[in-house]
Structure 1
Amino acid sequence: MPNCLCGCRSPQGAAAHAIVAALAADDLDRAIELGLLENVACEGCDASCRSRLLEAREVRLTALAARERHRAREARLQRRQAERDRQRQTARPAAPSAGSDTGTGVTEPARPALPSAAAAALARARAKAAERHKP
């Protein structure tokens, strides 16, 4: 039966004593394996020993909660960025990679495509202008 650093030899507190020993050796992984995150305590230990164990548990739980919040935030930011990227891709059709040839041998730079409503309005305006300028 492990003895606690505080001198307690209570057999009911063996798990708590092992956790306290792991914490004293700065072996946090071992302390977690032994049950640091669970509600393990020894009533035979002195108050300062029990409070150190409780404080270590609370600090670790707080750190784990902060890590979980950070991961959730990162995932949320990545989802938002992916959604913005998708919206940008659907908002503008892919422009031709090279400019268009006007038939004169001169290549004009590619223009960004208009949204469909704007393209329809432009087509109507051009048709109206062409009607006005007919001989």
Structure 2
Amino acid sequence: MVQLPLPVQLLQQVLADELDAALDAGLMAYVPAPGDDRLLPDHPDLPERLLDAQQRLRNAWEARDRYRQRAVRLARRAAERDARRAPPAPSPDLKPALPAAAAAILARAKAKAAGNPS
């Protein structure tokens, strides 16, 4: 079996839409070298095709990441919205604490009602 140069293998895999195999073979690490455009006489655009495949994959991965981030953001916003809409949890039968000034006024009123001037 004849071992083809790596760029030729990568191009064959890209053209056959075998992107997983091309990725495993090192597509994303491909850097054009002098003479790559002459490896296949019927494909002088070999370096450009491989670079284009790299860019398309990067764009797809970035889009997937943006989609995932958006989904997380939307889920967080929905949870926040649902939390705002939910009725408050029932609190135990505790009387709310009065501010200090209100407590003082109440104490004076109780004392006055009881007939103890203060």
| Shorter-chain TM-score tier | 0.5 to 0.7
Tell me how far apart the structure 1 counterparts of residues 48 and 83 of structure 2 sit (CA, whole Å).
52
The structural deviation recorded for 1:53 is 0.7
The structural deviation recorded for 1:94 is 6.3
Large movers: runs of 4+ above 6 Å: none
2:114 corresponding residue in structure 1: none
Tell me how far apart the structure 1 counterparts of residues 34 and 51 of structure 2 sit (CA, whole Å).
13
Aligned CA-pair RMSD: 2.2
Contact 2:28 2:54 in 1 (8 A): yes
- How many residue pairs are counted as aligned between the two chains? 84
The structural deviation recorded for 1:39 is 3.7
The structural deviation recorded for 1:25 is 1.7
SS of equivalent residue, structure 2 residue 27: coil
Tell me how far apart the structure 1 counterparts of residues 72 and 26 of structure 2 sit (CA, whole Å).
29
- From the two aligned structures, give the one with the greater helix fraction: 2
SS of equivalent residue, structure 1 residue 37: helix
Counterparts in 2 of 1:35 and 1:64: CA distance versus 1, 3 Å: same
TM-score using structure 2 length: 0.60
Instruction: Give the alignment partner of residue 88 of structure 2, picking from 76, 93, 100.
Output: 93
Larger mean Cα displacement after TM superposition, 35-44 or 21-30: 35-44
TM-score using structure 1 length: 0.53
SS of equivalent residue, structure 2 residue 28: coil
Q: 2:8 is aligned with what amino acid? A: H
Tell me how far apart the structure 2 counterparts of residues 76 and 32 of structure 1 sit (CA, whole Å).
30
Give the 5 Å matches for 1:50-61.
50-61=47-58
SS of equivalent residue, structure 1 residue 41: coil
Q: Which runs of 5+ in 1 are unaligned?
A: 4-13, 96-115, 117-135
1:21 aligns with 2:18: no
* Higher relative contact order (CA closer than 8 Å, sequence separation 6+): 2
| Percent identity over paired residues | 37
Give the 5 Å matches for 1:53-132.
53-89=50-86, 92-93=87-88
Contact 1:19 1:34 in 2 (8 A): yes
Q: 1:64 is aligned with what amino acid? A: W
